[in-house]
Amino acid sequence: MPEQTNPLWEDNSLQFPRLLCEIMANVGFSEDDYSWLESSMDLERSDIDELFDRAHVAWETAKGNR
């Protein structure tokens, strides 16, 4: 019998914000991490924080829609 795939696992609009929220909740970022992201992404820290905030909203919204 073929393995069943969980459709929630396949949903990138759910899993990407989930991943970012879990990273922020359990790993966090040091000043060096932020500096690296700022340089790598060509963004300001406030822009990076905004992306994490947007991921949080997307994750909370997705959880509420299940």
Which tokens in the block code for residue 25? Answer: 């909740």
Q: How many domains does the chain have?
A: 1
- On whether residue 6 sits in a domain, the answer given is no
Can you give the pLDDT at residue 47?
97
- On whether residue 10 sits in a domain, the answer given is no
- On whether residue 8 sits in a domain, the answer given is no
What DSSP string describes the chain?
-PPPPPHHHH-HHHHHHHHHHHHHHHT---HHHHHHHHHHHT--HHHHHHHHHHHHHHHHHHHHT-
- On whether residue 27 sits in a domain, the answer given is yes
Question: What's the distance, Cα to Cα, between the start and end of the chain in Å?
Answer: 27
pTM reported for the whole predicted model: 0.81
Domain of 35 in residue numbering reads as 20-64
pLDDT band at 20 (very low <50, low <70, confident <90, very high): very high
Radius of gyration of the chain (CA): 15
Can you give the pLDDT at residue 42?
97
